[in-house]
Amino acid sequence: MAYDIVVLGGGSGGYACALRAAELGKSVALIEKDKIGGTCLHRGCIPTKALLHSAEVADETRESESYGVKARFEGIDVQGVHAFKDKIVTRAWKGVQGLLKAAGVTIVEGEGRLVGAGRVQVGSEVYEGRNVVLATGSAPKSLPGLEIDGERVITSEHTLKMDRVPTSVIVLGGGVIGVELASVYRSFGAEVTIVEALPHLLPTEEESSSKLLERAFRRRGIKYELGVFFDSAKTTETGVVVTLANGKTLDAELLLVAVGRGAVSAGMGFEEQGIAIERGAVVVDEHCQTSVPGVYAIGDLIPTLQLAHAGFAEGIMVAEHIAGLNPPPIDYAGVPRITYSDPEVASVGLTSAQAAERGIETVEQVYDLAGNPKSQILGTAGAVKVIAEKGGRVVGVHMVGRRIGELVTEGQLIYNWEALPAEVAQLIHAHPTQSEAMGEAMLALAGKPLHVHN
């Protein structure tokens, strides 16, 4: 069977590519061995955000008295939490399958293997494509000697099926997934300790954002061990004992391993067909072309940001590139990043350290959410920090606070449109909203601060 494009893997990257290609009049086969929607829809973004929303409801119920509302927190109904999460996932899953069918994409159920530059085999059938797009995603990693047993030592995937709220959890890894799930477990009532080898939680974020998150987590009773390596873990009848490289031991009912995700690139014929792979990830150029002409790779399979919307963007870019539309390469610094914990951490553009590395002389403004009435109503501490070139455009926006993630949309328009602080300061922000914190930071950078205490 011959198609214009054969896409291997129906996650965020793969299905976005298939949809855009079909829209551009291409015939597309989309091969998926499990469920269309991939990690993001079934094991990642959507189910974890549903858990985080249940977590928020639990916390708001506990705090209801401070809002003058009489409610009593009686506990977490784990089955109810799953039912809520699964309803959201199922609806979106049906939606995306409907979209693909309506667009005329041929969905092939089965495990694919690259058997030639334009040939993917599924069972006894070979699907030929003038172009092939590899989008096989990623899977949780572990550490040497640390066995994931799914009982005491688990990954995010097991969390999504948990049958109880554990009394205590050690979270290995203070990146996005570790931080989000630590937040969920704490809100559900568990004792939580995060172990992170680097000096801060969310080590790729602006350091001041990490510090604000650490302060908020400390207040929430989430403990952390920073700048210390994991040494070993031993399961016992009641839980797990973790030894750190500094000799300290921690014990808990569960060990959640969240040390990152590795590209799924082995055992599918990629290397045999000459696709260059480095440290497990497929090597691509700025248009996601691999070392083999006519074969592209996108999403978590390549060493770019492991985010669903980065995968969507890569899929769309590849479809347009194949269709000859000459799309511009993606500016990855302009891709917004959100950690959906309580509080949320959101950013777009460069950190101060990255700006310094690029030799950019910068000015910064931090607007504390203590001065933002909407944030006070929501009961959150945090800040909006804006970094601009001296006398020039905004190069970075970094935010911490409950629900602050929604504000990153404004941040990304500002960054990607290369706006000057004075231009943004001219725009009026609705009162009372959290977006006023962004407006206030811009007013201050433009030399006309309004509600700023210095």
Ligand X SMILES: Cc1cc2nc3c(=O)[nH]c(=O)nc-3n(C[C@H](O)[C@H](O)[C@H](O)COP(=O)(O)OP(=O)(O)OC[C@H]3O[C@@H](n4cnc5c(N)ncnc54)[C@H](O)[C@@H]3O)c2cc1C
Choose the stretch contacting ligand X; rule: CB under 6 A; options: 54-62, 94-102, 294-302, 363-371: 294-302
- Rg of the chain on CA atoms, in Å: 23
Q: Is 49 annotated as a binding residue?
A: yes
Rounded Cα gap, residues 22 and 7, in angstroms? 12
Q: Is 435 in the site for ligand X (CB under 6 A)?
A: no
Beta strands in 174-333 (DSSP E): 191-196, 223-226, 230-235, 240-244, 249-252, 254-257, 261-263, 277-278, 281-282, 295-297
Q: Is 304 in the site for ligand X (CB under 6 A)?
A: no
Contact code string over 389-418 relative to ligand X, x by CB under 6 A: ------------------------------
Choose the stretch contacting ligand X; rule: CB under 6 A; options: 7-15, 224-232, 274-282, 286-294: 7-15
* Residue-wise DSSP of 87-118: HHHHHHHHHHHHHHHHHTPEEEES-EEEEETT
Q: Is 175 in the site for ligand X (CB under 6 A)?
A: no
Sequence-separated contacts (24+) of 175-180 with Cβ below 8 Å: 175/202, 175/203, 175/204, 175/258, 175/259, 175/260, 176/202, 176/339, 177/48, 177/258, 177/261, 178/256, 178/258, 179/213, 179/339, 179/341, 179/345, 180/48, 180/52, 180/339, 180/340, 180/341
Alpha carbons within 13 A on the beta-carbon side of 86 = 8
Joined together, the tokens standing for residue 334 give 């302009």
Q: Is 173 annotated as a binding residue?
A: yes
Q: Is 183 in the site for ligand X (CB under 6 A)?
A: no
Of the candidates 154, 155, 191, 134, which has an alpha carbon nearest to the alpha carbon of residue 44? 155
Q: Is 316 annotated as a binding residue?
A: no
User: In the chain, what is the greatest distance between 2 CA atoms, to the nearest angstrom?
Assistant: 71
Count of CB atoms situated within 10 Å of the CB of 319: 29
- Residue 321 is a catalytic residue: no
We find the least distance from the C-beta atom of residue 41 to ligand X, in angstroms, to be: 8
Q: Is 112 annotated as a binding residue?
A: yes
Backbone angles phi, psi at 95, to 5 degrees: -60, -45
Q: Is 300 in the site for ligand X (CB under 6 A)?
A: yes
Joined together, the tokens standing for residue 207 give 């350091």
Contact code string over 103-132 relative to ligand X, x by CB under 6 A: --------xx--------------------
Rounded Cα gap, residues 342 and 252, in angstroms? 22
- Among 4, 5, 6, 13, the residue binding ligand X under the rule CB under 6 A is 13
Q: Is 178 annotated as a binding residue?
A: yes
CA torsion sign for 84, 85, 88, 94 is negative
We find the least distance from the C-beta atom of residue 181 to ligand X, in angstroms, to be: 7
Using the minimum distance from each CB to ligand X, give the nearer residue, 80 or 123.
123
Q: Is 12 in the site for ligand X (CB under 6 A)?
A: yes
Q: Is 196 annotated as a binding residue?
A: yes
Write down the catalytic residue from 158, 431, 451, 453: 431
For residue 197, give every residue at least 6 positions away whose Cβ sits within 8 Å of its Cβ, in sequence order, or none: 227, 228, 229, 230
Alpha helices in 136-222 (DSSP H): 156-159, 176-188, 207-219
Q: Is 141 in the site for ligand X (CB under 6 A)?
A: no
- Among 193, 209, 289, 306, the residue binding ligand X under the rule CB under 6 A is 306
- Among 5, 6, 7, 8, the residue binding ligand X under the rule CB under 6 A is 8
For residue 436, give every residue at least 6 positions away whose Cβ sits within 8 Å of its Cβ, in sequence order, or none: 372, 374, 429, 430
- Applying CB under 6 A, the site for ligand X has a residue count of 37
Q: Map the footprint of ligand X across residues 19-38, applying CB under 6 A.
A: 31-34, 38
- Among 5, 153, 242, 308, the residue binding ligand X under the rule CB under 6 A is 308
Q: Map the footprint of ligand X across residues 203-232, applying CB under 6 A.
A: none
DSSP 289: B
Contact code string over 241-280 relative to ligand X, x by CB under 6 A: -----------------------x---x------------
Using the minimum distance from each CB to ligand X, give the nearer residue, 14 or 421.
14
Q: Is 307 in the site for ligand X (CB under 6 A)?
A: yes
Q: Is 145 annotated as a binding residue?
A: no
Q: Is 311 in the site for ligand X (CB under 6 A)?
A: yes
- What is the total residue count of the chain? 454
Using the minimum distance from each CB to ligand X, give the nearer residue, 180 or 320.
180
We find the least distance from the C-beta atom of residue 18 to ligand X, in angstroms, to be: 11
Of the candidates 374, 371, 366, which has an alpha carbon nearest to the alpha carbon of residue 431? 374
Q: Is 118 annotated as a binding residue?
A: no
Q: Is 10 in the site for ligand X (CB under 6 A)?
A: yes
User: Site residues (CB under 6 A) for ligand X?
Assistant: 8-14, 31-34, 38-40, 43-45, 48, 111-112, 135-138, 156, 177, 264, 268, 299-301, 306-309, 311, 340
Annotated active-site positions, please?
431
Annotated binding-site members for FAD: 49, 112, 136-138, 300
